[in-house]
Amino acid sequence: MADATQRLALIENISSVAGSVSELREALDAVVKAIATGLETEVCSLYLLDPNQKKLFLRATVGLSRDSVGKVSMHVNEGLVGLVIETMAPVAVLDAISHPRYKYFPETGEERYHSFLGVPVLSNGSEPLGVLVLQTLRKRKFSATEIRLVKTAASQLAQMMTHFRLRETLLTKEKERDEYRRRMIEANRQLKDYEKVGGQTRLKTPVKIRRPRLVGLAAAPGFGHGVAHLVGAFFNTINVNLRTDDPEAELRRLDEGLRHSRTELDALRARMATLMPESELKIFDAHRLILEDDEFIGRIRASIEAGYSAESALFRAIDELSTTLLAMADGYLRERASDFRDVGHRLLRHLRRDDTRAPFTRPTILVAEELTISHLTLLSHQNLVGIALQSGGATSHASILARSFEIPTVVGIEHLMASVSEGDDLVLDGNTGVLYIKPAVDIEREYDRLAQQYADFRQALNAKTTEHAITPDGHRVHILANIALQADVQMALRYGAEGIGLFRSEFSFLTYEDFPDESEQVALYSRLLGPLGDRPVTIRTLDIGADKYPSYMRVPREDNPFLGWRSIRVSLEMPAIFKPQLRAILRAAARHNVRVLFPMISSLEELRQARELLSEAQDELFREGIEHNPGIRVGAMIEVPAAVWLAPQLIQEVDFFSIGTNDLIQYLLAADRNNPKVAQLYEPLHPAVLQAVSHVYNVGRQAGKEVCICGEMASDPMATLVLIGMGLTELSLSPLFIPVVREIVRKVDFKTASLIAHDVLEMATVQKIKGYLIERYRDLDLINLVEMYR
């Protein structure tokens, strides 16, 4: 009976029940009723577990005698209900009375019922809260679909109970906190944190800790001078004390913001329902519950009625709730703080009618804890002269994107958010990774001079874009560009790229409102390929996950996202997304010089599965008579250590390799590419990295196949001589660095580069390798060139 419509109706019913009642007991009654109706059973009951007594108590029912609620209980090793907890799995019995575990409770009047289905109610997917039981008068075999549906209902129920539990805990904690605050005020008074102003005692205004010069990691070269604009830092951009004269208008604004937020969330959930398992959709329900929660909304309303603006009131509610939650011992409840903040962001956006595309009116430097890639792609670039981030590493995707936008960027700046205020005058040095806050006039002057010098230097290098990268002794190197967005093509051509060695297709996906379908992608790739003529282009299939998720894709929380559900793993699990991309690439390749590249390959099985889907796509297009390239060249990225070891086997099944050092380094050296704390360990010139790159290149060369390097290491002028000396002839890099890398290739004989590569491959420490390279670059009179970019 449980068809898709009924299933949806039941789930929606449960959600709406949860939002409409204020007492847990009432909610449980309504939910068991909704389930009994939805599944057409005579009985639906909920037994809750008391973990201390190891007993299950009947807490809500339709069908059994209501008088037995609260009275009937059983030990977990008793009855069919206990069996569900013992096995932690659904128990379905056609004729319960004849089952050896059947236990009869005369007060329930259940002797009339035959079939039994019990499903555990699990909090967080593992901690048992109780058992949901269905019983029927007639003998009925519950289908697998029905059992799945009851499991979904049980998980919704668990979430609802957690929500109510949370609310109760909050109220208690709040009382404790008020008391704690009162005592702290008293203590602070004694510690002289208070000052007398006009006869009144008040808390001294907290001052930002000023650090005039902060150091981080240089992520995109260039200099920026402008005013600070704090982004996404919810707590930094709201004036907490903004008052209103018109609370009625603010309340209306709040209602409208809530309405928009709910509609947005519902639309998002509906879209995601086709793409992700039901269990992952719970997060939308949790956020929806918050947006309907009387307690939460009541707090905001109360603040508005007390004279605060809607934003200030929202801030206060979120701050209070998340502070309370963060102080709790229960890890699960602590995590809920981020849900509140997440919902707060959504609501704030609607209250402010935020338009991230609005251009800046004067030179501006964005300052943020972290900038999501979706945010970065949506941002207006007019007057955006720099980006400063507290988090991130030089090869994190936000940095890569900043480079492709040519916006000077410094990342991994400790204390950034505590040091900069909205509107502060800033100077940012993307070459050495320094940020000056309210700099002295002489620093400003010096930087304006440096910026000019840098611009002249780049102009001189860029003037040589038509020259090929050939060493003085005639060795040809191909310099290609890594691009993320279609707009990068112009930049790549401007800097003289011979083609595109890596098109990170997922970035374009981030700019859509939903996954683009096949025809949208065909149009996208055609727009991209048009200006490139017959230059070679490598399109990498979707590499989403870790730090790159489209905003429309809700993803599971993972403890180690870079070791988790990302890249080819996502694509192989979502053929509904992957196949249209492969079809679109094959179609685009009919008229252009395109090859396809699979990211994050870590086994032959993955490569074969991806190739299998590619063949299916080819067969389909052939059958449908759609123009495509059946002989497209196929490559694997080598960016996981397993692939380095498997290179001899992998090369037999592909046409080329592309070495992705950004990931390869982080996996080889166990140093997160985004974490500034381990930035000094993330070292492209580590001997293990050089050995791995050289090995992969040799495997490819011996098999007569092409090997390209497309990680950011290829953009590092200090690595250029080592890479070409190893034999690599295809370097794909950030367009910005093409002029300097080409200049280095043109200045040094291949013979010299080979000797350099040979020497460093013999060395066992980073220190030795770097020291040696600095010496050699100095001898070759290249050190200035390199330093301009480092």
Please check whether residue 305 is in contact with residue 247, taking contact to mean a CB–CB distance below 8 angstroms: yes
Please check whether residue 146 is in contact with residue 2, taking contact to mean a CB–CB distance below 8 angstroms: yes
Can residue 547 be called a binding residue for Mg ion (CB under 5 A)? Answer: no
Can residue 398 be called a binding residue for ligand PEP (CB under 6 A)? Answer: no
Applying CB under 6 A, which part among 19-27, 414-422, 647-655, 660-668 lies near ligand PEP? 660-668
Is 555 or 753 the residue whose CB approaches Mg ion more closely?
555
- Tokens matching residue 36: 């009994």
- Burial, 723: exposed, middle or buried (Cβ in 10 Å; 0-12, 13-18, 19+)? buried
Find the shortest distance in angstroms from Cβ 782 to ligand PEP.
25
- Burial, 260: exposed, middle or buried (Cβ in 10 Å; 0-12, 13-18, 19+)? middle
Choose the one of Mg ion, ligand PEP, none that binds residue 339, judging by a C-beta under 5 to 8 angstroms depending on kind. Answer: none
Residue 568 CB: number of other CB atoms within 10 A?
25
- Tokens matching residue 69: 């609620």
Can residue 501 be called a binding residue for Mg ion (CB under 5 A)? Answer: no
Can residue 660 be called a binding residue for Mg ion (CB under 5 A)? Answer: yes
Can residue 404 be called a binding residue for ligand PEP (CB under 6 A)? Answer: no
Find the shortest distance in angstroms from Cβ 660 to Mg ion.
4
- Tokens matching residue 308: 């605060």
Considering only residues 485-514, where is the footprint of ligand PEP by CB under 6 A? 502, 504
In the DSSP assignment, the letter for residue 100 is: T
Beta bridge partner(s), residue 134: 44, 117
Find the shortest distance in angstroms from Cβ 504 to ligand PEP.
5
Q: Which of the following is catalytic: 229, 592, 708, 710? A: 710
In the DSSP assignment, the letter for residue 712 is: G
Choose the one of ligand PEP, Mg ion, none that binds residue 710, judging by a C-beta under 5 to 8 angstroms depending on kind. Answer: ligand PEP
Distance, CA of 119 to CA of 272 (rounded, Å): 26
Q: How far is CA 99 from CA 43, 83, 93, 103, 107, in A?
A: 18, 11, 8, 9, 20
DSSP 330-373: -HHHHHHHHHHHHHHHHHHHHHHT--TTSPPSS-EEEEES---H
Find the shortest distance in angstroms from Cβ 664 to Mg ion.
8
- Tokens matching residue 91: 């128990």
Distance, CA of 486 to CA of 197 (rounded, Å): 58
Find the shortest distance in angstroms from Cβ 43 to ligand PEP.
54
Find the shortest distance in angstroms from Cβ 787 to ligand PEP.
24
- Note if 44 is an active site residue: no
Can residue 635 be called a binding residue for Mg ion (CB under 5 A)? Answer: no
Q: Which of 663, 712, 730, 743 binds Mg ion (CB under 5 A)?
A: 663
Is 163 or 504 the residue whose CB approaches ligand PEP more closely?
504
Count, residues near ligand PEP per rule CB under 6 A: 10
Q: Which of the following is catalytic: 229, 397, 478, 628? A: 397
Applying CB under 6 A, which part among 178-186, 579-587, 606-614, 661-669 lies near ligand PEP? 661-669
Is 392 or 660 the residue whose CB approaches ligand PEP more closely?
660
Binding mask 676-715 for ligand PEP (x = CB under 6 A): ----------------------------------xx----
Is 29 or 639 the residue whose CB approaches Mg ion more closely?
639
In the DSSP assignment, the letter for residue 53 is: T
Question: Of 485, 476, 506, which is closest to residue 731 (Cα–Cα)?
Answer: 476
Binding mask 341-380 for ligand PEP (x = CB under 6 A): ----------------------------------------
Please check whether residue 782 is in contact with residue 761, taking contact to mean a CB–CB distance below 8 angstroms: no
Residue ranges in 420-552 assigned as alpha helix (H): 441-462, 488-494, 505-510, 518-529
Q: Position 568: which residue type?
A: I
Question: Of 11, 436, 455, 432, which is closest to residue 213 (Cα–Cα)?
Answer: 436
- Note if 397 is an active site residue: yes
Block residue for tokens 């603040």 = 303
Count, residues near Mg ion per rule CB under 5 A: 3
Can residue 716 be called a binding residue for ligand PEP (CB under 6 A)? Answer: no
Find the shortest distance in angstroms from Cβ 414 to Mg ion.
26
Choose the one of Mg ion, ligand PEP, none that binds residue 633, judging by a C-beta under 5 to 8 angstroms depending on kind. Answer: none
Distance, CA of 640 to CA of 660 (rounded, Å): 8
Q: Which of 293, 339, 543, 730 binds ligand PEP (CB under 6 A)?
A: 543
Considering only residues 619-658, where is the footprint of ligand PEP by CB under 6 A? 639
Applying CB under 5 A, which part among 46-54, 227-235, 656-664, 756-764 lies near Mg ion? 656-664
Residues making contact with Mg ion (CB under 5 A): 639, 660, 663
| Active site amino acids | 397, 710
Residues making contact with ligand PEP (CB under 6 A): 502, 504, 543, 639, 660-663, 710-711
